[in-house]
Structure 1
Amino acid sequence: MHDDVTAAVLDTLRSPARPPGRLLLTGWFSFRDGEATAGDVLAQQQMSAALSRAGILHDTAWSPGFRPGALSLETAEPGAYDTLLFVCGPVYGPQVAALHARFRTCRRLAAGVSVVDPADPGATGFDLIVARDGTAGPARLDLAATAPAGPLPPVAGVVLSHGQGEYGARRRHAEVNERITGWLAGKDCARVPADTRLAGDDWRLCATAEQFLALVARFDLVVTTRLHGLVLALRTGTPVIAVDPVAGGAKVSAQARAVGWPALVAADALTPRILDHWWEWALSGTGRTAAACHSMR
């Protein structure tokens, strides 16, 4: 797809009348109290790649909450830049207005943004806006649509139990869940919480067992502390890492043995190393084949 937003910005930056010395790339992902969405970050990647191809020196300012230790708006010295480029999101509100004040000595451009109110100081502070919408001109393709991206990581369904009070002092659910979720936070994957509980009055839950099976079938693997997380993942041929949250083992362990599933971890043996081992196995050809053999779809 043709990205006329990037082309228009590069045409401006290549102007022989005022070529940029060094540019600071910003967006809502730069604000300490802002947010970094997938679209924001892909827009940053699109524009950064285009600037690099054009030979334009640039840095990106990131929110300290999103990328601690990276260059931020607070640590970026305004005098080090002659151009500021803001990408994606609305050019509106006090945060954008404050950006103009801090970098008032820079030429300030906005690309792939929404103009909510043309009279807002967040919008009027820019020397040039190449908008995706909100202006009299035609709507333009969003920067994220054509942004470069790496290989897509696996999608992991996460099916955890938080109850089961019947196990009394043998319960290790809170500790096990904390270890699993902490470990998952460091894995390169898309994490999708899934609940075996069904409800017809809560859009976040499946209403039928078939809906839950359809969801699990689309995961690349499942990580679970629930018996039915194990059983239903294998029913759909989805590899599963089953962790028994009960000290000494209980129904999760018994079911794994009943179906001959090897990727089982006991509560007292739960470590990142053993989880990594089964993660690699579950995503390998061996793990996928093993799961397919259990499929009852």
Structure 2
Amino acid sequence: MTSLTGMPLASIPSPSVGVWHLGFIPIRAYALCFVIAIAFGIWLSERRWRARGGEKGAISDIAFPAVIFGLIGARLYHVITDWQTYFGSRAIKEPYRALFIWEGGLSIWGAVALGGVGVWLACRRRGLSLGAVADTIAPSIAFGQAIARWGNWFNQELYGSPTTLPWGLEIDQAHGGEPGVLYHPTFLYESLWDAALGFGLILAGRRFTLRHGRLFALYVAGYTLGRFWIEGLRIDPVGGVDHAVTLLGLRINQWTSIVLFVGALVYLWMTRNKDTEEIVAPASQHKASHEENGGQDSDATNMP
């Protein structure tokens, strides 16, 4: 059933405004979604780290370099894979706009890759096990992605192919949409998938012994599984200007999903019997905790 304007009565509207002004200060919805995602992720990770017996504030300290490196990595991946948007004879944006992260274009692949470097450096400095930290923050990353994806809704970007489903997404002509046409809300699909993945990781961590980075590997496998399907629905020109670059019929990010999915499964198999001790607190804190417990080791480090 359609309205008098030709638009189906059941649909998801896109926000007409993505920027609000507080005086002369612009408040961008895209950036706000990322700030909320980061804040929630740090809060949840701190709770999970403390439950494992970790030092209070450790995750917050680790988060600073992780976020900085992650933002750089997220933008680098986007610019590298979509370089034709900013450089070359067919560029549709000036090169300096590659720095405008609020216009969209933050890739989770680059964020996790370079953000992981920041986490590794922080863990090495504090003497903590990288695998333990990775397992702790894995659900937080999934929930953070679920929140951050709503920034794409405000920017009216990364939508899917046309659909007649009642939850189709309206897209303005200024953002590439056509009158009377609805599109797959891939931002919503991924947000729901990521939220479900976050809860699934928490349950898996409680039910099974997934240490030494295995819970993080499960996150990678779970995320890429959903991302492969969702990516196939998208019609934005990743890798090109007016069309997406494909290889054997698959988009760049689908190939990335395949490689990472296989890599995660291989890691899970290779570490299935690994049970060495993980350091979740500096030696000084562990000694103090040991003395407070009357010489008995705490079970906190064994919590999921």
Q: If the TM-score is normalised by the length of the shorter chain, which range does it land in?
A: under 0.3
> Which has the higher relative contact order, 1 or 2, with Cα contacts under 8 A spaced 6 or more apart?
2
Question: What TM-score comes out, normalization by structure 2 length?
Answer: 0.21
Higher helix share: 2
The structure with the largest alpha-carbon Rg is 1
Question: What TM-score comes out, normalization by structure 1 length?
Answer: 0.22
